[in-house]
Chains A and B, each alone.
Chain A
Amino acid sequence: MSSYHLDHLQHLESEAIHVMREVAGEFERPALLFSGGKDSICLLRLAEKAFRPAEIPMPFLNIETGHEFPELIDFRDRRAKQLGAKLIIRTVDAAIARGDAIPKPGVVSRNQLQTPVLLGAIEEFKFDCCIGGARRDEEKARAKERFFSFRDGFGQWDPKNQRPEIWNLYNARLNQGENMRVFPLSNWTEMDVWEYIRKEKLEVPTIYFSHERDCFRRGGQWLPEPPAHADATKPDPYAGARPTEKEPIKRLVVRVRTIADMISTGMIESKVHSFDDIISEIAAARVTERGSRADDKASEAAMEDRKKAGYF
């Protein structure tokens, strides 16, 4: 074999860097969605690869549901600082207080409420493009996404009417008020992400490794026990997401495979302490990563419906 050969990770990396630079070249006010999860950790490294030695030419944006794992928040803030990036945080809490996001009675999860907050942030900062870490292998509706996913003035995705994407020529043109979501990791699988993290020796939040945690069983999953209700003068943000008497707490050795927030992330029982362990565990896994997410179990078209409404 000739020495002019790239392996699969190098191919995916080069493709993603090309996409990131197209964003920097084509858009006036892009942002990069950074949650602290494994996919967006890869995005940050790719941004460094695309733009160093210059500054990363876009701020980081995170939408908080208010139910985040504290480990994730710490990590997110630290990483953004290390990279010298501006981190913009907008919260579902504030949006609820303003009346921009209205919780459905009886629904504790704020997953759906992230959408109006994201759209609000896009409007507030006049972002014309948001880079996200979504991958096509995650979910059936995502499998239909383009690298450059066009959104109309309401942030909506119209799967039947997507711009054809040919070669590596991305049509980034927008009219006023329209918006683009760009997914540099489109062609990456869960395995690719972990192999890349291992290869690049990237730091990840500790909850990806096995640790002891109090959990309870609900909906066929182990959910983490939410933090104590600290401020009794305010309503409990986790009301409805706490274990009942019929759901006894169990101390388990667990980790997360995919992170949403504490309400929608199932913990998996696992004993992994290194990237090698994680990669072996995924290679042997018999369920997909999304199998542990309550937000996707709602129905077969749960993701499609959320994306049409402006989710990323």
Chain B
Amino acid sequence: MGHHPVDILRFNTCGSVDDGKSTLIGRLLYDSKSLMEDQIEALERSADITGGGQINLANLTDGLRAEREQGITIDVAYRYFATPRRKFIIADTPGHVQYTRNMVTGASAANLSIVLIDARLGVIEQSRRHTCIASLLRIPHLVVAVNKMDLVDWSEARFIEICDQFNEFLPRLDIKDVKFIPMSALNGDNLVEPSVHTPWYVGPTLLGHLETVHIASDWNLNGFRFPVQWVNRPNNPTDRHLHDFRGFSGQIAGGIVRVGQKVMALPGGQITTVKEIWTLDGPLQEAFCPQSVTLVLEHDIDISRGNMIIGLDQLPGTGMDLHAQVCWMHPRPLQRGKKYFLKHTSNTVQAMVTEIDHRINMATLVPEPAPAELVLNDIGEIRIRTAKPLVYDGYATNRLTGSFILIEQGTNATVAAGMLLPSEQLVRPESGDYVI
């Protein structure tokens, strides 16, 4: 009977315009038999109209009219397919410089990024930029897809040369798992089936790698973190036992929680015990990241949306002076002294950018100190002062409690993606003297 994928792998494709991202995704869907007849028919129809009879696999992901007309990808397109081993969520992210913010959008939640390289051009500035973003976002796995190998006569020497170009700047980045695969997205070589043109390549095909790459440890199970999203208080409970029910609902952003465990509510600092882990399917003895649950606590503590409940073993940082890496995503530049809203977990506070430490030169990956501003697609390090203390982790420790966005006041535009550096000051358990 039907298929039962065991888990989900989220990945994104990045590279410059025309490196073959959309073709690669189309080919992956086509060759893994994930396309339906009406989709193939639609492809054939548009091939007759615009493509002189040649099916254009890129049309599968380029869903907007302007994209088909201009032959470019404007916005992140999401695609889904499953094999008997896994379910896949693909974000096809555009390569145009001006759309780099969309790459951050598509890549932030990914387990894996595929960086495409046109074998004829080798590593170019965009390849470095995208790899750098993948590294900043701490995407655990990277695939370097050396594409269009058919146009360089399947030359092993060229493949090795490109791997070397890559390995030259990789040490400056923070990526643990990198896989190089030579391929032709257009013809399907080494995508689903091994290519007859690359006898010198012994590694897996792209799909083979996607199906087997180890992602179980990508979620953080150390240090319990529970940002409260919503306070659950029934007004007219049908069940009399629920009359005094007061639960805190949220998605676990790190670690494991157990009934009977001591926890602390922040920013208050009160320490109490977990009485119940409530779910619609019945109470749980323990729950873990990224489950969504409702916690009932032993004591009646004033906790509201935006607060965080944490375990006592690994304490998070806290403070009003934040140090962070940001990717700037808006045409209006970031300027020192300007106020923004900062959204971190379920908490939104006012914030002011006090300092721009540096911006990264994308050609060299070297930081340039003290720029006057950060402009669209710039990546840099900044200092922020918030109106209230934040409870957070360094992004390297926890992607969910170490990330934030900046929102421009007035327009409400999302202008930056931020990754926090660890705080020098940790939450102190004794600050919660008034243990109830």
Contact = CB atoms under 8 A, between A and B. Distances in A.
Nearest to B46: A300
B109 A14 contact: no
Interface in B410-424: 412-414, 417
Interface in A13-61: 13-15, 17-18, 21-22, 24-25, 48-55
B216 A1 contact: yes
A136 B78 contact: yes
B291 interface: yes
Interface stretch (A72-80, A163-171, A230-238): A163-171
Given A50-B292, A287-B37, A288-B36, A301 B65 contact: yes
B7 A175 contact: no
Contacts of A49: 279-281, 292
A101 to B, nearest CB: 25
A166 B7 contact: no
Given A14-B291, A53-B234, A4 B404 contact: no
Interface stretch (B13-21, B99-107, B146-154, B312-320): B99-107
B53 to A, nearest CB: 18
A288 B38 contact: yes
B405 A169 contact: yes
A173 B407 contact: yes
Given A14-B251, A168-B400, A283-B3, A22 B346 contact: yes
A141 B36 CA distance: 17
Contacts of B39: 288
B129 interface: no
B50 to A, nearest CB: 11
A168 B8 CA distance: 16
Contacts of B239: 53
B74 interface: yes
Nearest to A160: B74
A160 B412 contact: no
A25 B105 CA distance: 23
B8 A11 contact: yes
A206 interface: no
Which bucket holds chain B's interface residue count?
35 or more
Given A11-B8, A285-B36, A164 B291 contact: no
Which of A4, A139, A160 has the most chain B CB atoms inside 10 A of its CB?
A: A4
A2 B104 contact: no
Interface stretch (B199-207, B225-233, B258-266): B225-233
Nearest to A282: B2
B66 interface: yes
A301 to B, nearest CB: 5
Contacts of A300: 42, 46, 65, 68
Nearest to A137: B80
B352 to A, nearest CB: 18
A286 B35 CA distance: 8
Which of A144, A174, A287 has the most chain B CB atoms inside 10 A of its CB?
A: A144
Interface in B235-266: 235-237, 239, 242, 245, 247, 249-251, 256
A9 B207 CA distance: 22
Nearest to A139: B63
A2 B232 CA distance: 31
Interface string A279-297: 1101101111011000000
A51 B279 CA distance: 9
Interface stretch (A91-99, A120-128, A186-194): A186-194
Which of B87, B221, B292, B412 has the most chain A CB atoms inside 10 A of its CB?
A: B292
A195 B5 CA distance: 11
A14 B105 contact: no
Contact of A159 (B75, B281, B346): B75
Given A171-B405, A171-B414, A287 B7 contact: no
A291 B38 contact: yes
A299 B288 CA distance: 46
B341 interface: yes
Given A160-B66, A171-B407, A279 B292 contact: no
A166 B239 CA distance: 39
Contacts of B281: 49
15 contacts: A5-B216, A8-B7, A10-B291, A50-B249, A54-B235, A159-B64, A167-B109, A168-B109, A171-B405, A171-B414, A192-B87, A279-B2, A285-B36, A301-B64, A304-B65
